[in-house]
Structure 1
Amino acid sequence: MDPDYLLFARAVEAGSLSAAGRILNISPAMMSKRLSRLEARLGVRLVHRTTRRLALTEEGATLHRDLVAILDAIRQAEDRVTNRHRTASGPLRISAPTSFGRLHVAPHVGRFLEQHPRVDLQLNLSDAYEDLLAERIDMAIRITSDIPAHLEGHYLAANRRILCASPAYLTAHGTPERIADLPRHRLLAADGQLPWRLVSGRALKLVDGQSHVRTNSSEIVRELAVAGVGIALRSLWDVGELIAEGSLVRVLDTWEGPADLAVHAVHPRAAGRPAAVDAFIAYLRDTFRDASWNWSN
């Protein structure tokens, strides 16, 4: 393979020309010159150069995606020829949403490390969409319908969202019988989560309003619902056990959030990603497969 292709792939993986240059022992000036040479030869601009990091153009993202596939195919071919098996080892930095990470990732970390004792795992919980390259995060769990072009996504589980309230709230304020009743009730949502998009078969309804209590925390929304403060739209992974034990009750059973969101693992599109990333993705997918909350429409 043309060495300038490898240089381009490494620069994208490292996040900047200077970082890639340090890895390859090439000066930033020479890195820039070779990247410009590649762009001139191809007749397209591959990156938008900034002071801190590289931002891929559409053409650059396409080329990088193809190069990653080629380099992965080469690695797999070498593994088959040499009968070499990659061992999950070394540092593994994971980011996950706060509530999902606490409920459904942290409890399973111990068993993963028993299976892969050479992995040094760091788990950070954050509801922000962190820049994986800038923060040097190997893999993030995201509940989304949109995987950015510079990231590779792996489906892990469904994210079914239902309307629910506590029995105490329904006793005090009545149970909504129709979707049109919702605006007259006390709605609970974290900042930015209203209006709600709800579907029933082919019907779509937008429910707007203000949260009865303002908060930036989805966990607080769940606790407020349990305390009888109002009606919330929550994921089954978040409230499934509470519904099973009766602390929350589902309302308007035929209406729920659209099925466009799902739980994904994402990581930068880069050749030669750590074996620990693949091992953790496979472990989570297997762990979530039979979870009671993981069922789709």
Structure 2
Amino acid sequence: MMDPDHELFVTVVDEGGLAAAGRRLHISPAMMSKRLARLEERLGAKLVHRTTRRLALTSAGERLHADLRGILAALDDAERRVSGASAVASGPLRITAPTSFGRMHLAPYLQHFIDAHPKVDLTVDLSDDFADLIESRADLAIRITADPGPGLTARRLATNRRILCAAPAYLAQHGTPQTIADLKAHRLLAAEGQMPWRLVGPKGPVAVEGRSHVRTNSSELVRELTLAGGGIALRSLWDISETLGQGKVRQILPDYEGSADVGLFAVRLPQHNPPAAMTSFIEFLVTLYVPTPPWERIVLP
């Protein structure tokens, strides 16, 4: 059996604070604080930074939390093997995913996972922030990136194919660019931090410099401006495949796409024996997106 103060520490991190953890463990906030201080004194290391607004782990606290989560998972697995019980996915599972992607390509399928794993207590946070798994108390993150992050375990689910596109109305008014150099004479649309566009063409990498015709921090606003004929954008296939199929946007300069380094990943903290709920959700994502994600099955070869 694990040391009670270790279990208390894991609960504090999972719940995001002493008060919430105390309610879960039926322990007063004062006693929670006392026991956490006792653990820190015993280990000779500060585990958390306490502020009035939030609780943040120190580097020592991060290491201890990751180790203890792995130990708890191993203990649970050992008990199941001894008792002969099957490895049923159960318990809390917090997922974080990008807002638009989660709405379009996760939410419609979630009920299948819920039906298959009714004992999992699922929480899904949609945010375009690059969430820190420990600070956000997330068990698993879906990330669209070239670098999932240091010290994390990542499962690549798909390549994030990005293409240049524009609405027919824009092309009718401004003409269709025939070369990369032609883009300099066109209205380009991108959210903050998305330019320069780094493309790969027949002769290798190409960078498209410029500034967005409309400045915005919203990628969704860029999408809507593109559909409305506001300019040319570099968009992910998962975002515009349906509108491509409907003819609302057209691909331009098809020999050029965004770098294939950018992918769709399932990212978690490293654990030797992760909980069944987590592994079940990752396998669920694999059934959705591997080997060919749905947004690539209709529009492009």
TM-score by length of 2: 0.75
Q: Match of 2:293, SS?
A: coil
C-alpha contact 1:9 1:270 (8 A) present in aligned 2: no
User: How far apart, in 1, do the equivalents of 2:68 and 2:123 lie?
Assistant: 29
Deviations 1:195-249 (A, max 9, x none): 2331327635252312x34555434433432343211111111122433454433
**Partner of residue 68, structure 1:** 69
1:196 aligns with: 196
User: Which moves more between the two structures, 48-57 or 85-94?
Assistant: 85-94
**Does structure 1 residue 181 correspond to structure 2 residue 186?**
no
Q: Which residue of 1 aligns with 2:58?
A: 57
Q: Which runs of 5+ in 1 are unaligned?
A: none
Q: Cα distance, 1:291 vs. partner?
A: 2.0
1:225 maps to what in 2?
226
Displacement, 1:126? 4.8
Query: Residue type matched to 2:207 in 1?
Result: K
| Residues 197 and 205, structure 1, Cα contact 8 Å, conserved in 2 | yes
TM-superposed CA distance for 1:86, in Å, is 4.5
Per the alignment, residue 78 of structure 1 pairs with 79
CA contact (8 A) 2:153 2:269 kept: yes
Aligned to 1:169: 170
Distance 1:51 1:151, change over 3 A: farther
Matched position secondary structure for 1:8: helix
Q: Which residue of 2 aligns with 1:28?
A: 29
2:16 aligns with 15
Between the aligned residues of both structures, percent identity stands at 54
CA distance in 2, matches of 1:59, 1:134: 14
Instruction: Write the mapping of 1:121-270 to structure 2, written as runs, cut at 5 A.
Output: 125-127=126-128, 141-145=142-146, 155-190=156-191, 192-200=192-200, 203=205, 205=207, 207-210=209-212, 212-214=213-215, 217-265=218-266
Please, which of 284, 291, 294 is the counterpart of residue 293 of structure 2?
Answer: 291
Give the match's secondary structure for 2:158: strand
CA drift of 1:96 comes to: 4.2
Partner of 2:6: 5
Q: 1:12 to 1:136 in 2, by over 3 A?
A: closer
The one-letter code sitting in structure 2 at the alignment partner of 1:203 is P
User: Superposed, which structure 2 residues align to 1:273-292 within 5 Å?
Assistant: 276=277, 278-289=279-290, 290-292=292-294
Which position in structure 2 is the counterpart of 1:42? 43
Q: How well do the aligned residues superpose, as a CA RMSD in angstroms?
A: 4.0
Deviations, residues 151-188 of structure 1 (Å, cap 9, x unaligned): 87654433222211234433432333443432321112
The farther-off stretch of 46-55 and 89-98 is: 89-98
Residue 101, structure 1, aligned to residue 80, structure 2: no
The superposition leaves residues 225-280 of structure 1 with CA deviations (integer Å, 9 ceiling, x where unpaired) of: 23432111111111224334544333333443344543344678999998555433
Between 1:44-53 and 1:252-261, the stretch displaced more is: 252-261
Whole-angstrom CA distance in 1 between matches of 2:272 and 2:108:
30
Alpha-carbon offset, residue 149 of structure 1: 7.8
Amino acid across the alignment from 1:205: A
For residues 119-139 of structure 1, give each alpha carbon's deviation from its aligned partner in whole angstroms, at most 9, with x where no partner exists.
676766554567888988776
Q: TM-score, normalised by structure 1?
A: 0.75
Name the CA distance, whole Å, in 2 between partners of 1:77 and 1:146. Answer: 34
Check the 8 A contact 1:183/1:208 in 2, yes or no. yes
**One-letter code aligned to 1:49:** R
